[in-house]
Structure 1
């Protein structure tokens, strides 16, 4: 689990995604709706992903069932997940949304077991409980020190739906239909389908497209599209295939802590004893999960012939 081929992309994805929560907040405002911000993000990311596939000399032709999988990934990950995340940030602080998305480790593990047959060990369950306790403390602290504006119940519901949508995409891409094609090719098509859905949804809800004029907006969109999407998704989905859906989702726990550090530096986030305790518990759960066996010890000791 700690070999460079896993540790380096794990940390890189966490560092990048930890920064995106701060950037996303600046993409939502009176000038452009949340739906159109998502659409513009993936309108930039999609051609960049196809270019990456071309640079890597990967074939873009896929069997029909892989296109079906790509369409589902586009629906759940690049349309559903991000649409609900951006909408949630209209009602909650970015830190709280990050905390709620960090709980994805639970549905990832459950879906991984149901759909992929990935085992859930007792150590993983213990690590999840510790990490969830840490996230809960961070959530309570965030609510206390940063009063929330907007509809809290609605924002929480939107964030949880976003988490479940991402979890479904995480798990289904690791199945047989996804493994028969190059990951970057699959992601390129998934983003294309997702972008089409994003544009249709934005136009249906908010009317014709609006092009923001601010330089900061487009710089933020470019960062989210190229670095926060094209660079990270191939790395992250490869981690799902190597680590399993449950443990790969622990990346979200590290993302939460990084997001809090960025908030400390750029937004004046105040660390209280409650927040420190939550961060320590979250990281402790992360380390226990990374050292847990992929297969229960009884199964590992008696392999089938």
Structure 2
């Protein structure tokens, strides 16, 4: 698949998972639901790799890297985000998680030595402003939520930072020629096992919700939200870098809102439409090659090319 197809697939699937996650909240503890989700995804991916005769034998260093990727990206990140979603609206969660764009820029510089591209940073700022405008009514009502909002904010920021570290580890893994499918298969399995261990230590019950909504949402989140979307997204991380790929986090909340408009009577306002326009402008900017931006800003550069 080309980059555009990978990007659109990621955005469209993750835009719909916000609704699916709400069906996971209830009888089963969020931590246990996360473990179920990624355990199922890991098993299915392992079977898929085995059927395609993909390499499944790796050294201990590679397993350690996949373990780190799994725990940050498929374990802690989702557990903390589920806890955040229990306390505040999904719109505010989307705004908090959008900060992953900045964190990926920073962590890419700190851990991978990648230069900070100013047009990527500018696009991130434009996109964050757009997302804030889209969800402004929920942001304006934060004070009415009491002190619990600060707990939710801390949980959301911690989840976002874990996701960013997981992105960076995945990028590093691909540089070490660890294939995305196998890294996800082992990573999701490791993440699920770690969350099961934590749940056991916390004394949580490993019960199961037999409602059709819970089972259907679990299957959707495992197959589409985990296996397919993460395979597409992390491939983009390897090709484009974690900073550019993570801009998808600003687009899939917009998809979620449109789904809400269709099924939950969400009403677009002039402010949210303006915010959407800013998000799209930032998306165009972040996906435009640096050389093209420099050429547009300084057309005379083309005239300075040396003669043959």
Normalised to the residue count of structure 1, the TM-score between the two structures is 0.90
**1:37-72: per-residue Cα shift (whole Å, max 9, x none)?**
111111211101112212332110112211111111
Out of 22, 25, 29, which is 2:22 matched to? 25
Cα distance in structure 2, aligned partners of 1:244 and 1:295: 18
Out of 282, 287, 297, which is 1:290 matched to? 287
Name the counterpart of 1:64: 60
Out of 30, 33, 36, which is 1:34 matched to? 30
Q: Greater CA deviation, 173-182 or 281-290?
A: 173-182
- Pairwise CA RMSD: 2.3
Name the counterpart of 1:75: 71
Cα distance in structure 2, aligned partners of 1:66 and 1:14: 29
Q: Greater CA deviation, 144-153 or 15-24?
A: 144-153
Cα distance in structure 2, aligned partners of 1:26 and 1:147: 27
Name the counterpart of 1:90: 86
Out of 180, 183, 189, which is 1:183 matched to? 180
Q: CA deviation at 1:270?
A: 2.1
**1:222-267: per-residue Cα shift (whole Å, max 9, x none)?**
1001111011111111100111110000111111211111121222
How many residues are matched? 295
**8 Å contact 2:123–2:282 — kept in the other structure?**
yes
Cα distance in structure 1, aligned partners of 2:55 and 2:84: 37
**8 Å contact 2:132–2:139 — kept in the other structure?**
no
Cα distance in structure 2, aligned partners of 1:215 and 1:147: 36
**8 Å contact 2:46–2:182 — kept in the other structure?**
yes
Counting only pairs closer than 5 Å after superposition, residues 1-305 of structure 1 correspond to structure 2 as 5-29=2-26, 31-144=27-140, 151-175=148-172, 179-293=176-290
Q: Name the larger-Rg structure.
A: 2
Gaps in structure 2 of 5+ consecutive residues: 295-300
Q: Give the SS at the match of 1:270.
A: coil
Gaps in structure 1 of 5+ consecutive residues: none
**8 Å contact 2:65–2:173 — kept in the other structure?**
no
